[in-house]
Amino acid sequence: MTKLKLGDLAEDKPVRLTIELPASIHRDLEDYGRVLAQSTGAPQPVAPVRLIAPMLERFMATDRGFSKARRQAREM
């Protein structure tokens, strides 16, 4: 089984954003959604739009430079 950084996706009240992505990133998101569905036993691939927020959240949570700068800003 493939170990992905994302697991089951939590439901949360969404905020609508409109973004443009390169086609290659959209294709990668579609592929990721298929692999994620297979690894979690979901019956259908996860739509790219549902992957973007958890991926950004995970990226920011694991970015040490961002965490440090955020802590420093709060201390001021």
pLDDT, averaged per 10 consecutive residues of the chain (76 residues), comes to: 73 85 97 95 94 92 88 89
**How much is the pLDDT for 6?**
75
The number of domains in the chain is 1
SS3 for 5?
coil
Give me the domain span that covers residue 76: 47-76
Residue 28: Cβ within 10 Å count: 14
pTM: 0.77
**How much is the pLDDT for 1?**
61
Apex 59 CA angle, 49 and 64, nearest 5: 165
Q: Put residue 41 in one of left, alpha, beta given phi > 0 → left and psi -120 to 50 → alpha.
A: left
**How much is the pLDDT for 48?**
95
**How much is the pLDDT for 2?**
67
Dist. CA 44–CA 41, nearest whole Å: 9
